[in-house]
Amino acid sequence: MASSLFDINDIAGLDRVGYLFGHPISHSLSPIFHRTIFDALDLKWSQKYLESLDMQQFLKLTREPLFFGASVTMPHKLAILPHLDELTPEARDVGACNTLFVRERNGKRIYLGTNTDVVGIKLAFYENVSSPDDTFHNRPGLVVGGGGAARSAVYALRKFMQTTDIYIVNRDKSEVDAVIQWCTERGYGENLVHVDTVERAHTLKGPGAIVSCVPDFPPKTREEKTARKVIELMLEKEHKGAILEMCYHPKPWTEIAGIADKEGWQVILGTEAMIWQGLEQSRYWREEDVPVSVIDKVKGVIATELNGMRKYGLAPSSTKTPATVVTANISTHEEITPVVESSVNIAKA
């Protein structure tokens, strides 16, 4: 049965409305994030929580005249694809859509999907690492995990971050095999290496960039314990790089983040990737960059949320917040244009 955290029909006085569509989503900072942008720009726009498993309910809402787009999260990132008219190369190659946006073409509304997670990963590193050349350029990368987020991480490391080999560490070999096959079939799977034993990890050059895409649970099974030992060995190697911990719920400072910090790695919180992918979402919806002054306000909001987590012991007091780390203007980066390709087997609601 579908459910929503807020009254999705409460749109009186709004010029445009969008949604965060997923389940569960009560922990998400997305509506707060985008509300900050809309309010700062004096826009009568809003993003509503739609905590639901009902795809048809969501598709019906997208047909409303005021709809501007949506953040799409689990478990719908794959399920939404057949219902879109077109996909950007990022969504097509990663095989997941986290952002729905609309365009008018020949008097008809077109529904498009993209994946801004890859941009979030990229900019989380480039906005926080002072010397990418010394830290991760022309060095191996490492991805922890074997799902859709892992594909996004491989894409970002391969397409944007000048990595050489990309190691994949995960408890489930079949998931790794699926990631490697997927990426290879789409042209960015070269030099992917499944590091499945401690012995193999000993023989490999240390990575410069790590993206951890797994929940913050202590290892219990033999496979999970092996994966953790491999990660620890990689972190112990002589070269110390930067690690992006994508997990920030229920707390942004995870066991892996703590181990990396103790070994001398620069730890980048998952809220960093969330900020930059969210700014990219706003650019697709509004078709213009977010002004620097507004970006600063957004950072402040996220910093406040992190400070609240610290109050209850959910984040380390020494961790830098996005408000103090992220300073550059998103518009200083190369333009990422929404070049789209038609998807197949389009299903209409």
- Give the containing element (helix H, strand E) for 113: strand 108-114
List the one residue out of 78, 90, 70, 64 whose CA is nearest residue 25.
70
Q: Which of 26-33's residues contact partners 24+ apart within 8 Å by CB, and which partners?
A: 26/51, 27/249, 27/250, 28/73, 29/271, 29/274, 29/302, 29/305, 30/71, 30/73, 30/274, 30/278, 32/301, 32/305, 33/274, 33/275, 33/278, 33/298, 33/301, 33/302
pLDDT tens digits for 289-343? Answer: 999 999 999 999 988 887 776 554 555 654 444 333 333 333 333 333 444 544 4
pLDDT given for residue 319 in this prediction: 46
Strand partners, 71: 20, 99
Tell me if 100 is assigned to some domain: yes
CA distance 280 to 118: 10
Mean pLDDT check: name the lowest of 22-36, 69-83, 96-110, 167-181.
22-36
Whether the predicted pLDDT of 207 surpasses 90: yes
Indicate whether 50 and 102 sit together in one domain: yes
Q: Is there a single domain that holds both residue 215 and residue 97?
A: no
**pLDDT of 89 higher than 80:** yes
Q: Is residue 8 part of a domain?
A: no
Q: What is the CATH number of the domain that holds 138?
A: 3.40.50.720
Are residues 92 and 216 both part of a single domain?
A: no
Q: Are residues 213 and 128 in the same domain?
A: yes
Tally of CB atoms within 10 A around 220: 9
- pLDDT at 28 (0 to 100): 85
Same domain, 140 and 75: no
* Identified catalytic residue from 48, 77, 122, 299: 77
3-state secondary structure of 295: helix
Report residue 7's pLDDT band, with 50, 70 and 90 as the boundaries. Answer: low
Residue 4 belongs to a domain: no
pTM of the model: 0.87
Token pair of 152, please?
A: 């996004």
Whole-angstrom distance, CA of residue 26 vs CA of residue 153: 25
Q: Of 271, 290, 320, which residue is a domain's last?
A: 271
Domain boundary among 229, 246, 271: 271
319 belongs to a structural domain: yes
Contacts of 253 (CB under 8 A, 6+ apart): 245, 269, 314, 315, 316, 319
Structural domain count of the chain: 2
- Same domain, yes or no: 63 and 128: no
Confirm if 2 and 56 have CB atoms less than 8 A apart.
no
Q: Which position has the higher pLDDT, 255 or 26?
A: 255
pLDDT (tens digit, 9 = 90+) per residue, 174-200?
A: 999 999 999 999 999 999 999 999 999
Residue 3 lies in a domain: no
Q: Is 116 exposed, middle or buried (0-12, 13-18, 19+ CB in 10 A)?
A: buried
Report yes or no: 284 and 114 within 8 Å, Cβ to Cβ.
yes
| CATH number of the domain encompassing residue 289 | 3.40.50.10860
Write down the pLDDT at residue 323. Answer: 32
pLDDT exceeds 50 at position 347: no
Q: Which of 229, 253, 271 is a domain's end point? A: 271
pLDDT given for residue 13 in this prediction:
86
Task: State whether 223 and 200 are in the same domain.
Answer: yes
Write down the pLDDT at residue 25: 87
C-alpha 34/C-alpha 124 separation (Å) is: 18
Report pLDDT digits (tens) over 15-68.
999 999 999 988 888 989 999 999 999 999 999 999 999 999 999 999 999 999
Same domain, 95 and 153: no
My answer on whether 165 and 207 are in the same domain is yes
The pLDDT tens digits of the residues spanning 107-145 come to 999 999 999 999 999 999 999 999 999 999 999 999 999
User: Taking Cα atoms as reference points, which of 198, 215, 295 lies closest to residue 250?
Assistant: 215
What range defines the domain where residue 173 resides?
Answer: 119-271
CA distances in angstroms from 304 to 58, 141, 197, 249, 300, listed in the order given: 31, 31, 41, 15, 6
Q: Which residues contact 184 (CB under 8 A, 6 or more apart)?
A: 190, 192
263 shares a domain with 138: yes
Residues 144-159, mean pLDDT to the nearest whole number: 96
The answer to the question of residue 157 being in a domain is: yes
Q: For residue 7, tell me if it sits in a domain.
A: no
Question: Active-site residue 159, yes or no?
Answer: no
Residue 26 lies in a domain: yes
List the strands of the sheet with 108-114, edge to edge: 45-51, 16-22, 67-72, 99-105, 108-114, 86-87, 341-342
Stretch (H or E) spanning 149: helix 148-160
Residue 150 structure tokens:
């892992």
Residues 159 and 260 in one domain: yes
Is the CB of residue 76 less than 8 Å from the CB of residue 21?
yes
